[in-house]
């Protein structure tokens, strides 16, 4: 009989004990794999955050604070000034619009927003009419917010003609193929706008907005009586972000009747090491009374620190679970060696070398670990998400308060897909698209991928071999004559 066949047979010699050992190993291995999944997921999230905003500065008008701020608008000339600062690789200007669906009141007349009609002090965002219908229903929150500013008009009949309450659609004129946080747009079908600095009559539409309005690549819609053609459909990853339209910067400036004005600027620095100095240089070049320059990663420091804590905790727990599995194997194999002293003595007496006998016990331990790994992988696939969420939620309460800084209007309301500066639109407060640490932490997705599973199983087998080597070496110290004499 081969060594492998003998090892497999020995592993199932006592089925009850084998089942108990496999169950204990499965729990330890499942916990180890779940912690490895959490570690990998959090590490990937930290890298994503650092890559997306680590070298990005956001420039808003000085004093701009959501719907309550003031100050003077930024200009394209100031974008050129910022671009000339050392270590700046690109400057992307944005112009924010609200597209409001044109409605018909009881009098039969169409009510629509006029061009350039800013809302809130400072007029940071212009409201213009569109043929599109918002992809998000107003619901309780939308009706509550609209009610405070919707007094309606009274016609000759004395009745109030209130427009239908529909949420506005976020529209952003932008000078590059990025979203309003500086990240590359995820275009799922079609193409980009081509020349982003020319009024081309083209637009990119969010997935949910396209579905709501039955739009596809090549479809058309109107904004302020101008026809736009859909060249691409993008996925921002959130309901708010997908209720949006991107057009070229000149188009948005024309629709808002504010040529050369910008709502914000996205400044990209060549490296993270130069972000601090470049922030100071851009602020000095534009003037403190003209622009507020904010640093993306400063809003992320607490959240990333908390994510790093979760990553470290999961790594320590992974190592501890691996060590536990190794200790279990060590103890089980030591017990088996002691139980089989007579068998080992007989094998040695008939000429079996120490290496073959030791290998038999190592292979037996690997059979037990293989069974435990199969069950542990199943446990980890179901438990990894819950364990990661539990680890993350324990850190959320301590980070949400200091990192969520709400500006006026909708600050902090939309963690992803919002435009820079908070407030849900450019020119908002400091909350920004990454303002809430709790939203950042809970956005981590943990799943047991094949790569993570393979790495975890490899680590488990390595520890199992180490744990089985010590008992295997003990077999060399057993003398056949002593064992047989004692029988």
pLDDT at 338: 80
Q: Which range among 55-69, 233-247, 399-413 shows the weakest confidence by mean pLDDT?
A: 399-413
Q: Which range among 73-87, 174-188, 388-402 shows the weakest confidence by mean pLDDT?
A: 388-402
State yes or no: pLDDT of 227 exceeds 90: yes
The mean pLDDT of 293-302, rounded to a whole number, is: 64
The mean pLDDT of 205-231, rounded to a whole number, is: 92
pLDDT at 1: 54
The string of pLDDT tens digits covering residues 184-195 is: 778 889 988 888
User: Model-level pTM greater than 0.95?
Assistant: no
The mean pLDDT of 33-46, rounded to a whole number, is: 81
The mean pLDDT of 462-477, rounded to a whole number, is: 79
Sign of CA dihedral 18, 24, 26, 28: negative
Looking at mean pLDDT, say which of 33-47, 311-325, 383-397, 411-425 comes out highest: 311-325
């Amino acid at each position: 009989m081969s060594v492998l066949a003998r090892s497999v047979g020995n592993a199932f010699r006592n089925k009850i004990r084998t089942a108990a050992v496999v169950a204990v190993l499965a729990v330890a291995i499942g916990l180890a794999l779940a912690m490895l999944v959490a570690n990998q997921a959090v590490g990937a999230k930290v890298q994503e955050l650092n890559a997306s905003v680590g070298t990005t500065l956001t420039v808003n008008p000085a004093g701009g604070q959501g719907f309550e701020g003031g100050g003077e608008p930024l200009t394209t000339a100031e974008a050129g000034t910022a671009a000339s600062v050392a270590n700046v690789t690109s400057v992307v200007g944005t112009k924010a619009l609200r597209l409001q669906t044109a409605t018909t009141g009881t009098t039969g007349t169409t009510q629509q927003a006029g061009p350039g009609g800013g809302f809130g002090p400072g007029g940071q965002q212009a409201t213009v009419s569109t043929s599109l219908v918002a992809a998000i229903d107003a619901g309780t929150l939308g009706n509550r917010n609209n009610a405070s500013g919707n007094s309606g008009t009274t016609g000759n009949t004395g009745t109030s003609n209130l427009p239908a309450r529909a949420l506005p659609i976020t529209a952003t004129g932008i000078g590059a193929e990025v979203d309003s946080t500086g990240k590359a747009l995820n275009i799922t079908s079609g193409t980009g706008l081509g020349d982003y600095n020319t009024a081309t009559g083209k637009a990119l539409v969010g997935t949910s907005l396209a579905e709501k309005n039955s739009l596809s690549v090549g479809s058309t819609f109107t904004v302020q009586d101008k026809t736009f053609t859909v060249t691409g459909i993008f996925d921002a990853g959130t309901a708010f972000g997908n209720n949006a339209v991107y057009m070229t910067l000149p188009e948005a400036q024309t629709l808002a009747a504010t040529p050369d004005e910008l709502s914000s600027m996205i400044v990209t620095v060549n490296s993270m090491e130069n972000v601090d100095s470049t922030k100071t240089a851009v602020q000095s070049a534009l003037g403190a009374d003209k622009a507020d320059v904010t640093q993306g990663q400063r809003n992320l420091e607490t959240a990333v620190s908390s994510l790093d804590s979760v990553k470290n905790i999961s790594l320590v727990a992974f190592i501890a679970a691996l060590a536990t599995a190794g200790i279990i194997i060590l103890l089980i194999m030591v017990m088996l060696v002691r139980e089989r002293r007579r068998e080992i003595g007989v094998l040695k007496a008939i000429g079996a070398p120490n290496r073959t006998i030791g290998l038999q016990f190592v292979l037996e331990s690997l059979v037990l670990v293989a069974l435990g790994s199969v069950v542990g992988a199943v446990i980890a696939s179901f438990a990894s998400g819950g364990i990661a969420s539990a680890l993350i939620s324990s850190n959320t309460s301590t980070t949400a308060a200091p990192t969520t800084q709400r500006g006026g209007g909708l600050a902090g309301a939309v963690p992803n897909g919002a435009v820079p500066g908070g407030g849900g639109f450019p020119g908002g407060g400091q909350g920004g698209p990454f303002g809430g640490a709790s939203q950042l932490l809970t956005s981590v997705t943990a799943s047991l991928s094949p790569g993570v599973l393979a790495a975890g199983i490899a680590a488990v087998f390595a520890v199992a071999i180490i744990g089985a080597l010590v008992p295997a070496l003990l077999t060399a110290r057993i003398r056949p004559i002593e064992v047989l004499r004692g029988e």
